[in-house]
Structure 1
Amino acid sequence: MTIEWAAYEADDLYDELVDTRGEPRAAAAALCRYLAEMDEAELAEHRDAAELAIRTMGITFTVYSEEEGSIDRAWPFDIVPRIIPADEWKRIEAGLKQRVKALNMFIDDVYHRQRILKDKIVPRELIVDSRDFRPQCIGAKPPLAVWAHICGTDLVRDKDGTAYVLEDNLRVPSGVSYMLENRQIMKRVFPELFEESVILPVDDYPAQLYDTLAALSRRRTRRPEVVVLTPGIYNSAYFEHAYLAQQMGAELVEGSDLVVGDDDCVYMRTIEGLSRVDVIYRRIDDSFLDPEAFNPDSVLGVPGLMRAWRKGKVGLANAPGSGVADDKVVYTYVPEMIRYYLDEEPILPNVPSWLCVNKADRDYVLANLDKLVVKPANESGGYGMLIGPAATRKEREAFAALIKKNPRNYMAQPMLSLSTAPTLVDRHMEPRHLDLRPFILSGRDTYVTTGGLTRVALRKGSTVVNSSQGGGSKDTWIVDLEGL
């Protein structure tokens, strides 16, 4: 049996590949024709080939559970790509660049003049009460006034086709290695499709990342020494840390491999002695970065690292303190930041939101918990949130108590009808909800990946796309129809 797209049911949702008449969208036409010519057995063979490639390439992620501890699992991947036309992507790319520029200006302002707080565009108490506001960063001057060098911004599309920004990830955003590996898998499984369509590449990301990091070096040298600082093998993103270090030709280090010298420079321990480090791409949170400046019990960081950074002896990406803008409550003010710093209208809209710190908003949220999605300000991975329509009465009552106890920590959004894409389930296609995480590099120039990591909720009806909670991923194709 082959695929009949007219019989594919996406309900009343926006589907990324198929329109409401059951016809393939223009950018997806070649793919849909190709898939329609396959029978169920052929599709299953391609899926098996992808799974074999994942095992052979060793692509894994780590799941934590109370019963079994940490478990490495093969990366869950769907062979049907998500497709976005290049002309639409140009607008999304422009919106992402605009947004990250304003966010970096906001972070720099917070740690210097605080104009946006004095002008009461953003309430001061939201910042000083933020878990990720770092007084230790006040007055610091990172190169180019850029604090968040690597950003992963999550996008969703509602049923009317509008792309919204769901959240910004400015501390240690993860997932880009899976974006790169997804593309390699698809080239192995469907090489002929890359000959028939103009699919914009993503392979240059490691080179772009290295250039962004190298530009942070204050030392005049032909090739700065860049290292990737990882918490270690038990971290859920360790595969990515090792992968990016290997792709950049950088050293993968743990905190115990680094030391700050009497000259306030950072050195790496090697079998030949100490070697100067110019830039650290750190994949550990601020609180563990330097036991002298933050958590004194941390064994993951490097004593004296903040001192070395503030004196300009080492570059850090992302800069400490960037998390002040990686807050789901502060997120709601990004459109105003864009207007304030850039004197422009936001290109990409936020999802409408209610802040529980505001009494009127809080009263509305408490009265409508069965209709809303409620999120804590600083959690990630889909943890700590309430999906109201799917929650029990007991769960909603417990969450109401949490909101009343600490309203600053919660915000709410409507339950969006996330877009879908055809996904291979057993031997046939079914729609599954998805989101998209493009990655933006900021330095002398701003670079946006052509596409990003598409995460898909593999469970029927679920809108939770995180791999740690049953989600998977797809390759993301930006298709240039004019290049055909």
Structure 2
Amino acid sequence: MTVIGGEVRPVYGRIARWLEETPIEHLSSRRAQAELLFRRMGITFAVYGEKDAGERLIPFDIIPRIMLRSEWTRLETGLLQRVKALNAFLQDVYGAQEILKAGKVPKDLVLGNPEFRKEMVGKKVPHDIYVQIAGIDVVRTGEEDFYVLEDNVRTPSGVSYMLENREVMMRLMPDLFAEHRVAPVENYPDVLLAALRSVAPDSAGSQPTVALLTPGRFNSAYYEHSFLADKLGVELVEGRDLFVEADKLYMRTTQGPKQIDVLYRRIDDNFLDPEVFNPDSVLGVPGLMRAYHAGSVTLANAVGTGVADDKAIYTYMPEIVEFYLGETAILKNVPTWRCREPDALRHVLDHLPELVVKEVNGSGGYGMLVGPRATKAQIEAFAVKLAKDPNNFIAQPTLALSTTPTFFDTGVAPRHVDLRPFVLTGTNGVRVVPGGLTRVALIENSLVVNSSQGGGTKDTWIVDDALFEPGRTFQVQSQSQGFGAQSQSQSPS
């Protein structure tokens, strides 16, 4: 097995040994089997706006990403802090707006934001929780350095790939999996369902009814919607399956109408209720906002959360954390120039070949410029767009992102990765899935990991530090147990 470039960190020692001992033909066979499993499972996504925009598989790399438990614990602490601050920020900007009065965040950046929903001002949401599910994109630049790239608190996606990646790895490489003490992720649906039920309105019974709202089978993430509904054991519904009566939300069933207490919605605000937002929407439910404001149904995530994952608001997260929690942000922000500010705009225009420039409401890797990888013509065209609408952009330096070993037909080579951990918030607490979804830039030297831009995914293993202490034994962790649970069987380290 050929390994191209890069040094092996101790945590990858067993993986390195496995790669050295495994013929490349065997690894290629494992990758082919993984692809076959994903096809059988139906794990696909769609890319809009392309001629061949049919259903595709997201490329899967058979070499896992590995982090020590001690490293993960530091990251987890920062994630919990960040999501608590985001919830406090949303509660405030739709309430007393103290942070705006204090001048910590510019008023126009919030009140003039296209994702700020005036319909939510002064309205309570059940239990004051706006973000039940968050996906925080993180990159590593050194042994101790983690940076947040962006916060996803509208309808974060990707958790189905995290779960299916784990299942495939356990099927294909049980011996390698058994050698590592890997934190389990497969009980994520149980933890999510508990969080969703915990935020049901007080009027709901002891077993609140939860449903998952999808735009339908033509949506790029429809596989994930159906997968999660199945794993949660809840109904997968479309807008046409629902109706509002007497300010309560119901779904149509063969036994008659059934009231919904919590709606896990996977469609954007604009399409939720044609009476309030886009009148042409056929994806939502007329009257849904009336039921929501009446307090008879919880929407997860809450309407209006998009203002908190705007990339311009992101630049103020250190101030937001300090304002609401009285703490210094544990996770660093990437240094960012706000192009809406004249001095910052001049700097960005003068240094475009060195910077990454993003739309403040962009996603999926679209609408961005990676200066070091762009042609002169692309940079010149982007400069025109940037000068015309500077409020719509932020710019960041290109970070020296960490790499992980990635398998190709020619051997193993390093590729840049990021990580999307998933943070769940309910009245029962805030929990973080141990690991999350690792996305990998499969193109050499590329920094773009998005699946829509050719990126792939890896399984993410959080392993116990004791595994790397000579002479120690460790307990094999049963995948049927909860986050952090341990079984009693012994295995040599």
Shift of 1:371: 0.6
Question: What is the DSSP-based 3-state SS (H/G/I as helix, E as strand, rest coil) of the residue aligned with 2:174?
Answer: coil
Question: Aligned match of 2:254 in 268, 271, 286?
Answer: 271
Letter in 2 for 1:42: H
Matches within 5 A, 1:379-458: 379-444=362-427, 445-458=429-442
Paired AA for residue 366 in structure 2: Y
1:19 corresponds to which residue?
none
Match of 1:285 in 2: 268
Superposed CA offset, 1:356-393 (max 9, x none):
11111111001111110000010100000111122222
| Contact 1:228–1:280, Cα closer than 8 Å, also in 2 | yes
Q: Deviations over 1:243-295 (max 9, x none)?
A: 0000000000001110000x100000112221111110000000111111111
Q: In the alignment, which residue of structure 2 is the partner of 1:15?
A: none
What is the TM-score when the length of structure 2 is the normalising length? Answer: 0.92
Instruction: Give the alignment's TM-score, normalised by structure 1.
Output: 0.94
What code does the residue aligned with 1:45 have? S
**1-structure distance, mates of 2:177, 2:370:** 39
Q: Distance in 2 between matches of 1:241 and 1:162?
A: 34
Letter of the 1:239 partner, please give it. Y
Identify which of 99, 117, 127 aligns with 1:134.
117
Checking the alignment, whether the CA contact within 8 Å between 1:227 and 1:250 is kept in structure 2 is yes
- TM-superposed CA distance for 1:472, in Å, is 0.5
Whether the aligned pair in 1 keeps the contact of 2:46 and 2:219 (CA below 8 Å) is: yes
Structure 2 residue aligned with 1:17 = none
Match of 1:257 in 2: 241
Question: Hey, what's the Cα distance between the residues in 1 that align with 2:143 and 2:466?
Answer: 25
Supply the distance in 2 between the matched residues of 1:67 and 1:343 (Cα, whole angstroms). 51
Is residue 183 from structure 1 mapped to residue 166 from structure 2 by the alignment?
Answer: yes
1:181-330 superposed matches below 5 A: 181-218=164-201, 219-261=203-245, 263-330=246-313
Alignment RMSD? 1.3
Q: Could you tell me how far 1:159 is from its partner in structure 2?
A: 5.5
Instruction: Please state whether the residue corresponding to 1:90 is helix, strand or coil.
Output: helix
| Counterpart check, 1:158 vs 2:141 | yes
SS of residue in 2 equivalent to 1:64: coil
Q: CA deviation at 1:160?
A: 6.6
One-letter amino acid of the counterpart of residue 445, structure 2: G
AA in 1 matched with 2:231:
Q
Separation (CA, whole Å) in 1 of partners of 2:56 and 2:50: 16
Amino acid at match of 2:55: D
Per the TM alignment, residue 301 of structure 1 is displaced from its structure 2 partner at its CA by: 0.6
Provide the rounded CA distance (Å) in 1 between the counterparts of 2:83 and 2:197. Answer: 20
CA distance in 2, matches of 1:79, 1:129: 45
Shift of 1:32: 2.0
Aligned partners of 1:9, 1:230: CA distance in 2, in Å? 44
Structure 2: unaligned runs, 5 residues or longer: 468-473, 475-493
1:273 match: secondary structure? coil
1:352 aligned onto 2:335: yes
Number of residue pairs the alignment of both structures matches: 466
Question: Which residue type is aligned with residue 51 of structure 2?
Answer: E
Query: What is the deviation of 1:427?
Result: 4.3
CA distance in 1, matches of 2:94, 2:214: 26
Q: Which amino acid aligns with 1:44?
A: S
Deviation of the 1:56 alpha carbon: 2.1
Q: Which runs of 5+ in 1 are unaligned?
A: 11-21
Deviates more, 1:150-159 or 1:278-287: 150-159
Q: Given residue 124 of structure 1, which amino acid in structure 2 is its aligned partner?
A: K
1:49 and 2:33 aligned: yes
1:125 alignment counterpart: 108
